[in-house]
């Protein structure tokens, strides 16, 4: 497929959900880039491309992402399809430096509200709460509740507790007792016991507050502020700690389906037409 035939897609965010979406679209043959203008806060580093931001490159589930420090890096990734370029430039710069066919906002919801996307590309998709289909974006895809991956062509996701949008209900977070540099002594995916040392924040031992497996752990040598998440311990019997979660697979598949339908010009069937 030539460059002009490809669908160019910008995915906003680099946490586990954004990474699952970017990987799915990349493998589907789209020209995909990730936008992450600031250091990612996620500690679930084996569930996405987050480490590419700091390390320059990261391979996740067989797909490589590389930080695009130069324009040539960015263009090479899009044209070759060998890797997904990660852009760290400001939002306004990223959304105007390439004629994006599709923009997918996979960033977590915040109290600041969602940005207006609809005018930025031919098709804009918002994942989760805070978007309004037909106003702030073209299509909304639900990421939580009972039906992750549900497509809304008008309106917004129904109000519900933010916890219902969380990918996991079994996570016990360990927070930094003070600011400092963290040096870990465990690996993500390893089993831990309550009270076990996970690493040191300066000279202070950081200990597990539950028994389970490490799903998240801060980068070794990273600077943390007081109260920042240091680790996440999955406490269920069969936890998801590495790779793509079941929920994120459903959402990523839904995004891919919506793009395929919209770009093909097919009008989706509405059940309302049968009544």
pLDDT (0 to 100) of residue 271: 37
Residue 239 lies in a domain: no
Ranking 110-119, 147-156, 180-189 by mean pLDDT, the lowest is 110-119
Question: Hey, CA dihedral for 176, 177, 182, 188, is it positive or negative?
Answer: negative
Residue 125 lies inside a defined structural domain of this protein = yes
Q: Identify the top-confidence range among 34-48, 102-116, 145-159.
A: 34-48
- pLDDT tens across 258-268, in order? 999 988 776 55
Phi-psi region of 265 (alpha: psi -120 to 50; beta: other; left: phi over 0): left
Residue 85 and residue 188 share a domain: no
- Band (pLDDT 50/70/90 cuts) for residue 184 is very high
Answer yes or no: is 36 within a domain: yes
Q: What pLDDT was estimated at residue 146?
A: 84
- The span from the CA of 234 to the CA of 45, in Å, is 14
Those residues with Cβ within 8 angstroms of residue 164's Cβ, 6 or more apart along the chain or in another chain: 144, 145
Q: Are residues 142 and 175 in the same domain?
A: no
pLDDT at 275: 30
Domain that includes residue 183, residue range? 171-234
Let me know whether 96 and 154 are in one domain: yes
Is 103 domain-assigned?
A: yes
Percent of the chain predicted with pLDDT > 90 = 80
Considering the domain boundaries, does residue 240 fall inside one?
A: no
- Give the pLDDT confidence score for residue 57 in this predicted structure: 97
Instruction: Give yes or no for residue 3 having a pLDDT over 60.
Output: no
pLDDT at residue 5, as a whole number: 56
Determine the Cα angle at 142 with ends 141 and 145, to 5°.
170
Q: Assign 168 a pLDDT band (cuts: 50, 70, 90).
A: confident
Q: Residues 6 or more apart from 235 whose CB is under 8 A from it?
A: 170, 171, 172, 210, 211, 212
DSSP assignment of 208-228 equals -SSSEEEEEEPPTTEEE-TT-
Give the whole-angstrom CA distance, residue 46 versus residue 213: 13
Residues 56 and 73 in one domain: yes
Q: Is residue 64 part of a domain?
A: yes
18: nearest Cα among 100, 87, 92: 87
Per-residue model confidence as pLDDT tens digits over 212-244? 999 999 999 999 999 999 999 999 999 999 999
Q: How far apart, in whole angstroms, are the C-alpha atoms of residue 14 and residue 77?
A: 16
- Residue-wise pLDDT for 6-39, tens only, equals 799 999 999 999 999 999 999 999 999 999 999 9
Looking at the fold, whether 131 and 157 belong to one and the same domain comes out as: yes
CATH number of residue 220's parent domain = 2.40.50.100
Mean pLDDT, rounded, for 95-100: 85
Under a CB-based contact definition with an 8 Å cutoff, are residues 229 and 55 in contact?
no
Pair (139, 156) in one structural domain:
yes
**CATH classification of the domain holding 113:** 3.40.50
Based on the structure, what is the number of domains in the chain? 2
C-beta of residue 180 within 8 angstroms of C-beta of residue 257: no
Both 112 and 191 in one domain: the answer is no
* 273 lies in some domain: no
- 100 and 181, same domain (yes or no): no
What pLDDT score does 266 carry?
61
Q: What is the pLDDT of residue 268?
A: 54
Task: State the angle between helix axes of 246-264 and 16-27 in degrees (0 to 180), rounded to the nearest 10.
Answer: 50
Q: pLDDT-based confidence at 58, cuts 50/70/90?
A: very high
pLDDT (0 to 100) of residue 8: 95
1 confidence band (pLDDT: 50, 70, 90): very low
Ranges assigned E (strand) in the chain: 8-12, 31-35, 57-60, 63-67, 84-87, 102-105, 123-127, 139-141, 151-152, 171-175, 180-184, 191-192, 197-201, 204-207, 212-217, 222-224, 229-234
Residue 127 in this model has a pLDDT that exceeds 90? yes
Q: SS3 for 60?
A: strand
Inside any domain, residue 118? yes
Same-domain check for residues 129 and 215? no
My answer on whether 65 and 10 are in the same domain is yes
Q: Are residues 131 and 213 in the same domain?
A: no
Between 107 and 275, where is the model more confident?
107
Q: Are residues 221 and 129 in the same domain?
A: no
Q: What is the pTM of this model?
A: 0.91
């Amino acid at each position: 497929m030539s460059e002009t035939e490809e669908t160019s897609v910008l995915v906003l965010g680099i946490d586990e959900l954004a990474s699952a979406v970017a990987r799915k679209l990349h493998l589907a043959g789209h020209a995909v880039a990730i936008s992450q203008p600031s250091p990612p806060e996620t500690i679930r580093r084996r569930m996405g491309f987050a480490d590419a931001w700091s390390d320059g490159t990261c391979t996740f589930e067989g797909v490589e992402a590389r930080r695009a420090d130069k324009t040539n890096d960015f263009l090479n990734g899009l044209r070759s399809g060998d890797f997904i370029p990660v852009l760290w430039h400001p939002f306004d710069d990223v959304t105007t430096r390439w004629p994006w066919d599709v923009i997918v906002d996979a960033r977590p919801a915040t109290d600041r509200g969602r940005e207006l996307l609809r005018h930025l590309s031919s098709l804009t998709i918002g994942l989760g709460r805070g978007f309004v289909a037909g106003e702030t974006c073209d299509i909304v895809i639900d990421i939580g509740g009972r039906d992750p991956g549900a497509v809304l062509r008008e309106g917004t996701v129904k109000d519900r507790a933010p916890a219902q949008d969380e990918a996991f209900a079994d996570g016990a977070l360990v927070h930094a007792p003070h600011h400092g540099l963290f040096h870990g002594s465990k690996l993500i995916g390893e089993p831990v016991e309550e009270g076990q040392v996970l690493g040191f924040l300066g000279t202070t031992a950081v200990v597990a507050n539950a028994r389970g497996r490490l799903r998240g752990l801060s980068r070794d040598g990273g600077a943390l502020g007081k109260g920042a998440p240091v680790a996440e311990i999955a406490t269920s019997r069969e936890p998801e700690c590495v790779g793509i979660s079941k929920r994120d697979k459903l959402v990523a598949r839904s995004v891919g389906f919506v793009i395929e339908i919209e770009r093909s010009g097919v009008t989706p069937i509405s059940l309302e037409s049968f009544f």
